[in-house]
Amino acid sequence: MSLARIKRIAAAAEAAGHAVIADPARPELRDQLFHALAEVVGPSFTPDGEKPPEVAGLTRQARVWAEIVQERILFARRFAGTAAGRSASDSIGLAYNIRELLGVLHSIRQTADAND
């Protein structure tokens, strides 16, 4: 995947993540984040060719964090209205996972910008 496409995907996922952190009680924002992360967790979210190795490492990290966030969102959906569901959608815990992901996505965009 080209660095430009990776940057666009990272920017979209960042925007969706910031929206959830700003208003964690809105399930539609979590759904938007879930869908925005679909391309991040996909196997094609890696730089093509001889791109900087640090971008490849960062995309692997982003996939892991994106999978964690998606799993928390799925679990909260599945068990909505139960104590387990409330725990999974706990804004502090979910926000932590999203912030970790946002840091990696931001690093991807900065590294890609530096190598353009």
As a whole number, mean pLDDT of residues 68-92 equals 72
Residues in CB range of 54: below 8 A, 6 or more apart: 111
Model pTM score: 0.85
Q: Which domain holds residue 54?
A: 3-114
Model confidence pLDDT, tens digit, residues 35-65: 999 999 988 888 877 677 888 899 999 999 9
Using the predicted structure, report yes or no on whether residue 6 has a pLDDT greater than 70.
yes
Cα separations in angstroms, 71 against 5, 50, 55, 106: 24, 32, 24, 21
CATH number at residue 33: 1.20.120
Mean pLDDT value across the chain: 86
Q: Where are the alpha helices (DSSP H) in 1-116?
A: 3-22, 27-36, 38-41, 53-78, 83-88, 91-114
Domain total in the chain: 1
| pLDDT for the residue numbered 3 | 85
